[in-house]
């Protein structure tokens, strides 16, 4: 009897009888199998062997077939088990998510190989009576390194002709794998590593203290301080021992430039898991990692599930980045899984950031992680201090104060570039009637619609619904409709008007729908002509913009007084990252931050002393308020088109949980139900119940109990619910 994990949201395994024909390796955990499920065939993974089932034998069905000759990699199996347990998610669903699409669809695991047909020396005259075969032999001889089977048929020859030639000893097939060529021997490096400065050298030597054991380190280094160089030299040290490094980068960070930087350093195989890969290519990368051929694997969030034959280290760049958290289905955090995985393998873990998450910073401050710091840039220009400028009672043009415009002007006059950061795409965040005060609102969300000019329309940025621009106010008929506030389009328009002879590049999701266009603009910017960049956070993170000497933040107030307790942390991270774009190369930079709250103490501290100081201060506030990382949190999210249905389930769940906590005497706090900060989204109502505990194990017990209660509850089948462990946003 075999227990199999199937693609199902149910948190249980399914019992099957073995197929009549056992695979060569025998039945064992980790085998990918095809099984009948209802009226379909699905792909599942054997999790365990059991002696019996709760079901009578007559009701058990047999496995259709084993899909591979051996089990899936054991480190992958372990990680799936861990993630499913930690995130209270179905194991079958977790495994489906964690394997490449081709495996999910039941294709064979073997990496794509290609058969090359090699010519063998032989006596041609033996083919005199088979002119087609003689022709084919002549063709093969033109390709002494072999010709792929596909090329042979493209030349109009058949497989039978090939096989006949093989039989007569004129050719022989050779299998080669497509991805990641073998290391070419000799030096590991294709280009020399940089001589490290003192701080970098210290950090690297700490890493070298323990290369073959669990060794979690936080590399807190200001923007542009040379963190990537440390990653490269750590990878080099491990590659020299034949060990693999897995490098996670944020979604926005996996650019061709980043990849090029890794690829140009090493002669060993570097493979990347990026969104441009086809499914078969993705499987190739997976396979190259699983059998140890790829020594450096770079990818975004989901790359954490890549199996490693000889794990050497896991590196998480910009570890604070929000894109590491998945926001639906299996709501995992790739950085947290990286920690668990490094511990499991017993290998170094390197978390790098200029603006570490409070979770990681806290661990570094208490000594649970080694704390490595880089405070200086190789370019010697320290990151610029933020200059706060008061938005109140001042006229703005396209969102910009006269002081900011003046600074932009002198930057251009000096032949440099300026970056104007504005966290809102579109022309203006809202459209209002000047006569009666009507505002354009989304019919499906508790949100205003954004005015766009290119093309002209109203769009909701939460549900993506669109509407034509009204000619007159739908409430009072007045024609006096006005755009309120500024988005990237408006600022672009204003700047173009003010500086007609200067190129203004707008960079946001609307302007860069085509991937190449973003790359092209970046290239042009890097050429260094004076120009202006107007962009959202797409532009704010990661990119090396050597000619930018001025950064203007149009409005810094987004996170200052938000409901979410993490808003301030996230907004400080973003500000510091944006500011880090200025003066990275030979020229010092300036950062102007426009705000309605120039006296806000947090903003003041960020401006005066930087992210590190503010973060340490805010950590104290979190400690006092008993908020993460000083407690462990889980969030039950309930949603339904009927507000009442969502609310009722949330209420019953919270009640039942409180009762259980009391009876079982588990020290866990349960808060709610409360409406989500934006309760109605896409015509669905969102209700939250929050669980917090001082101990991870207590939080786990409560979340586990709640999930089981919900699964057994009939009412819960009528609404959508999910549990979010360590939620990052409310
Ligand atoms: P970070 O990853 O911290 O943002 P990078 O690794 O991108 O910083 O380094 C910023 C710039 O400094 C890059 O152009 C890099 O080549 C350069 N750099 C890094 N380390 C050194 C060094 N030891 N000597 C000279 N230049 C360096
Ligand atoms: Zn009106
Ligand atoms: Zn909407």
The pLDDT value given to residue 432: 95
631 is in an annotated binding site: no
The H or E element that residue 365 is part of is helix 358-365
The yes-or-no verdict on residue 79 having pLDDT over 60 is yes
Residue 310 near residue 63, CB atoms below 8 Å? no
Pocket test for ligand 1, best of 378, 542, 587, 589 (most atoms within 8 A of CB): 378
Ligand index nearest the alpha carbon of residue 681 = 3
Q: Is the pLDDT of residue 180 over 50?
A: no
Q: Please tell me the predicted confidence (pLDDT) of residue 178.
A: 52
Select the highest-mean-pLDDT range: 97-111, 358-372, 375-389, 707-721: 358-372
Work out the burial of residue 595: count CB atoms within 10 Å of its CB; fewer than 13 is exposed, 13-18 middle, 19 or more buried.
buried
In order of 24, 425, 610, the CA distances from 596 in angstroms are 70, 20, 20
pLDDT value at 80 more than 70: yes
670 is in an annotated binding site: no
Environment of ion ligand 2 (residues, CB < 5 A):
433, 435-436, 438, 473, 475-476, 478
Task: Give the ligand 1 atom nearest the CA of 379.
Answer: 12
pLDDT band at 358 (very low <50, low <70, confident <90, very high): very high
Please report which ligand is nearest the Cα atom of 446.
3
User: Which range has the worst mean pLDDT, 353-357, 375-379, 722-726?
Assistant: 375-379
Distance CA(608)–CA(554), nearest Å, equals 19
The 3-state secondary structure of 401-437 reads CHHHHHHHHHHHHCCCEEEEECCCCCCECEEEECCCC
Q: What percent of the chain has pLDDT over 90?
A: 70
Give the per-residue pLDDT at 648.
96
Ligand with minimal distance to 465 CA: 3
Q: What is the Å distance from ligand 3's center to 490 Cα?
A: 22
Name the pLDDT band for 591 (thresholds 50, 70, 90). Answer: very high
**Nearest atom in ligand 1 to 374's CA:** 3
Q: Is the CB of 197 under 6 A from ligand 1?
A: yes
Q: Which of 228, 255, 352 to mutate for ligand 1's pocket (most ligand atoms within 8 Å of CB)?
A: 228
Model confidence at 116: pLDDT above 90? no
pLDDT digits (tens, 9 = 90+) for 458-469: 999 999 999 999
Lowest-confidence pick of 55-64, 512-521, 670-679: 512-521
Q: Mapping DSSP to helix (H, G, I), strand (E, B) and coil, where does residue 344 land?
A: helix
SS3 content of the chain, % helix, strand, coil (to 5): 35, 25, 40
pLDDT at res. 730: 82
Q: Which ligand is nearest to the CA of 318?
A: 1
Distance between CA 373 and CA 195 in Å, rounded? Answer: 18
Cα 228 to ligand 3 centroid, rounded to whole Å: 40
pLDDT tens-digit map of 317-335: 999 999 999 999 999 999 9
Rounded CA-CA distance 4/10 in Å is: 12
Structure-token pair, residue 147: 């010709």
CA distance 655 to 637: 15
193, 201, 223, 229, best to mutate for ligand 1 pocket (most atoms within 8 Å of CB)? 229
SS (H, E, C) 43-77: EEEEEEECCCCCCCHHHCCECCEECCCCCCCHHHH
Q: What is the DSSP letter of 470?
A: P
Lowest-confidence range among 106-115, 154-163, 395-404, 444-453? 106-115
Taking the centre of ligand 3 as the mean of its atom positions, its distance from the CA of residue 445, in whole angstroms, is 4
Residue 215, ligand 1, Cβ within 6 A: no
Q: Which atom of ligand 1 is nearest to the CA of 225?
A: 3
What is residue 158's predicted lDDT score, i.e. its pLDDT? Answer: 87
Q: Would the annotation count 445 as a binding residue?
A: yes
Report the nearest-CA residue for atom 4 of ligand 1. 224
- Is the shortest distance between the CB of 225 and ligand 1 below 6 Å? yes
Model pLDDT, residue 53: 81
C-alpha closest to that of 424 among 466, 487, 485: 487
Cα–Cα distance between 245 and 693 in angstroms, integer?
Answer: 35
What would the pLDDT profile of 687-722 be if each residue is shown by its tens digit? 999 999 999 999 999 999 999 999 999 988 999 999
Residue 601 burial class via C-beta count within 10 angstroms: exposed 0-12, middle 13-18, buried 19 and up: exposed
Kindly state if the Cβ of 596 falls inside 6 Å of ligand 1.
no
Given a contact cutoff of 8 angstroms between Cβ atoms, the answer to whether 426 and 399 are in contact is: no
Mean pLDDT, to the nearest integer, of 274-291? 89
Residue 716 neighbours by CB distance under 10 Å: 16
How far apart are alpha carbons 110 and 444 in whole angstroms? 47
Q: Is the CB of 581 under 6 A from ligand 1?
A: no
What does the pLDDT read at residue 174? 78
Q: Taking a C-beta distance cutoff of 8 angstroms, is the pair 165, 133 a contact?
A: yes
Q: What ligand 1 atom has the least distance to the C-alpha of 377?
A: 12
Contact in structure between 446 and 678 (CB atoms under 8 Å): yes
Between CA 568 and CA 574 the distance in angstroms is 10
This prediction has a pTM of 0.88
Judged against a pLDDT cut of 80, whether residue 182 lies above it is answered with no
Q: How confident is the model at residue 259 (pLDDT cuts 50, 70, 90)?
A: confident
- Give the per-residue pLDDT at 251: 85
CA 349 vs. chain centroid, Å, equals: 18
- Closest to 35 measured CA to CA, from 59, 6, 58: 6
Q: What is the chain's length?
A: 730
Ligand-binding site membership of 25 (annotated): no
Q: Ligand 1 atom 19: the closest Cα is on which residue? A: 226
Has 436 been labeled as part of a binding site? Answer: yes
Q: What percent of the chain has pLDDT over 70?
A: 96
Window from 461-475, 532-546, 591-605, 709-723 with minimum mean pLDDT: 532-546
Of 67-81, 171-185, 608-622, minimum mean pLDDT range: 171-185
For the Cβ of 277 lying below 6 angstroms from any atom of ligand 1, the answer is no
Distance CA 512, CA 2 (A): 50
Task: Report whether 408 contacts 552 (CB < 8 A).
Answer: yes
**Cα torsion for 169, 171, 176, 182, to the nearest 10°?**
90
Comparing 371-385, 424-438, 610-624, 683-697, the range with the smallest average pLDDT is 371-385
Whether pLDDT at 561 is above 90: no
Contacts 24+ apart (CB under 8 A), 604-609: 604/388, 606/386, 606/572, 606/575, 606/576, 607/385, 607/386, 607/387, 607/388, 608/385
State yes or no: 80 annotated in a binding site.
no
For ligand 1, is residue 228 a contact (CB within 6 Å)? yes
Residue 33 to residue 71: CA distance in whole angstroms: 10
Say yes or no: CB of residue 221 within 6 Å of ligand 1: yes
Angstrom distance (rounded) from CA 555 to CA 428? 13
Q: Does residue 514 carry a pLDDT above 70?
A: no
Ligand 1 contact via 233 beta carbon (within 6 Å): no
> How confident is the prediction for the chain on average, in pLDDT?
91
For residue 440, the CA-to-ligand 2 centroid distance in Å is 10
CA–centroid distance, 482 to ligand 2, in Å, is: 11
Give the confidence band of 542 by pLDDT, cuts at 50, 70, 90.
low
Reported ipTM: 0.96
Distance of CA 543 to the CA centre of its chain: 17
The reported pLDDT for the residue numbered 110 is 65
Which ligand minimizes its atom distance to the CA of 198? 1
Q: Please say if the pLDDT value at position 173 is more than 50.
A: yes
If you measure from the C-alpha of residue 480 to the centroid of ligand 2, how many angstroms do you get, rounded to a whole number?
A: 8
Count CA atoms within 13 Å of residue 18 on its CB side. 15
Whether residue 323 has its Cβ less than 6 Å from ligand 1: no
| Spatial separation of the C-alpha atoms in residues 312 and 238, rounded to whole Å | 6
For the cut 80, the answer to whether the pLDDT of residue 490 exceeds it is yes
Closest ligand to Cα 437: 2
Decide if pLDDT at 185 tops 60: no
Burial class (CB in 10 A: 0-12, 13-18, 19+), 18: middle
111 has pLDDT over 70: no
355 lines ligand 1 (CB under 6 A): no
Q: How far is the CA of 230 from the centre of ligand 1 (A)?
A: 9
């Amino acid at each position: 009897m075999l227990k199999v994990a199937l693609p199902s949201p149910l948190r249980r395994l399914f019992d099957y009888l073995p197929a009549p024909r056992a695979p060569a390796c025998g039945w064992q955990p980790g085998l990918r199998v095809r099984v009948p499920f209802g009226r379909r065939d699905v792909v599942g993974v054997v999790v365990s062997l059991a002696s019996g089932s709760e079901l009578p034998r007559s009701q058990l069905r047999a496995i259709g077939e084993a899909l591979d000759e051996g089990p899936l990699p054991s480190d992958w199996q372990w990680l799936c088990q861990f993630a499913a347990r930690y995130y209270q998610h179905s194991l079958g669903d977790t495994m489906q998510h964690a394997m490449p699409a081709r495996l999910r669809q039941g294709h064979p695991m073997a990496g794509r190989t290609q058969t090359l047909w090699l010519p063998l020396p032989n006596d041609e005259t033996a083919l005199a009576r088979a002119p087609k075969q003689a022709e084919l032999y002549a063709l093969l001889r033109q390709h002494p390194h072999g010709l792929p089977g596909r090329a042979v048929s493209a030349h109009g020859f058949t497989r039978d002709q090939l096989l006949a030639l093989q039989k007569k000893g004129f050719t022989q097939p050779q299998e080669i794998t497509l991805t990641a060529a073998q290391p070419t021997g000799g030096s590991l490096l294709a280009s020399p590593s940089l001589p490290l400065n003192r701080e970098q050298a210290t950090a690297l030597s700490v890493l070298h203290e323990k290369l073959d054991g669990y060794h979690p380190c936080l590399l807190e280094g200001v923007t542009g301080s040379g963190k990537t160089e440390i990653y490269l030299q750590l990878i080099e040290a491990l590659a020299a021992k034949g060990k693999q490094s897995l490098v996670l980068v944020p979604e926005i960070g996996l650019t061709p430039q980043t990849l090029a930087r890794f690829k140009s350093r090493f002669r060993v195989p570097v493979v990347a898991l990026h969104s441009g890969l086809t499914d078969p290519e993705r499987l190739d990368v997976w396979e190259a990692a699983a059998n140890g051929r790829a020594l450096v694997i770079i990818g975004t969030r989901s790359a954490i599930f890549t199996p490693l034959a000889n794990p050497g280290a896991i590196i998480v760049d910009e570890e604070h980045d929000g894109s590491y958290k998945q926001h639906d289905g299996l709501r995992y955090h790739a950085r947290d899984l990286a920690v668990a995985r490094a511990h499991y393998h017993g290998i170094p873990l390197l978390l790098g950031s200029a603006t570490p998450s409070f979770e990681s910073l806290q661990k570094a401050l208490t000594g649970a992680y080694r704390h490595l710091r880089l405070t200086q840039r190789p370019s010697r220009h320290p990151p610029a201090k933020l200059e706060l400028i008061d938005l109140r009672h001042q006229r703005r043009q396209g969102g910009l104060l006269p002081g900011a415009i003046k600074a932009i002007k002198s930057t251009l006059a000096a032949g440099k570039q300026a970056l104007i950061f504005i966290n809102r795409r579109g022309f203006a965040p809202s459209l209002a009637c000047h006569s009666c005060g009507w505002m354009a609102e989304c019919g499906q969300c508790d949100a205003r619609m954004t005015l766009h000019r290119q093309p002209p329309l109203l769009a909701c940025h939460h549900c993506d619904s669109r509407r034509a621009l009204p000619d007159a106010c739908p409430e009072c008929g007045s024609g006096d409709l006005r755009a309120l506030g500024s988005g990237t389009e408006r600022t672009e328009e204003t700047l173009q008007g003010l500086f007609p002879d200067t190129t203004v590049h707008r960079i946001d999701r609307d302007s860069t729908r085509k991937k190449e266009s973003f790359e092209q603009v970046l290239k042009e910017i890097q050429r260094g002509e004076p120009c202006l960049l107007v962009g959202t956070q797409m532009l704010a993170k990661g990119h090396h913009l050597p000619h930018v000497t001025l950064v203007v933040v149009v409005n810094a107030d987004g996170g200052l007084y938000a409901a979410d307790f993490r808003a301030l942390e996230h907004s400080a991270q973003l500000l510091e990252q944006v500011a880090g774009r200025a003066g990275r190369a030979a020229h010092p930079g300036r950062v102007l931050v426009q705000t309605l709250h120039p006296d806000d103490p947090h903003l003041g501290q960020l401006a005066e002393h930087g992210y590190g100081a503010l973060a340490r201060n805010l950590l104290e506030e979190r400690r006092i308020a008993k908020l993460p990382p000083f407690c462990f949190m889980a969030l039950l999210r309930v949603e339904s088109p009927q507000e009442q249905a969502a609310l009722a389930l949330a209420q019953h769940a919270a009640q039942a949980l409180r009762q259980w906590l009391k009876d079982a005497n588990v020290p866990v706090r349960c808060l709610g139900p409360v409406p989500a900060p934006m309760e109605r989204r896409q015509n669905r109502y969102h209700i939250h119940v929050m669980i917090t505990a001082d101990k991870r194990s207590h939080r786990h017990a409560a979340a586990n109990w709640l999930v089981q209660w919900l699964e057994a509850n009939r009412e819960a089948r009528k609404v959508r619910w999910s549990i979010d462990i360590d939620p990052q946003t409310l």
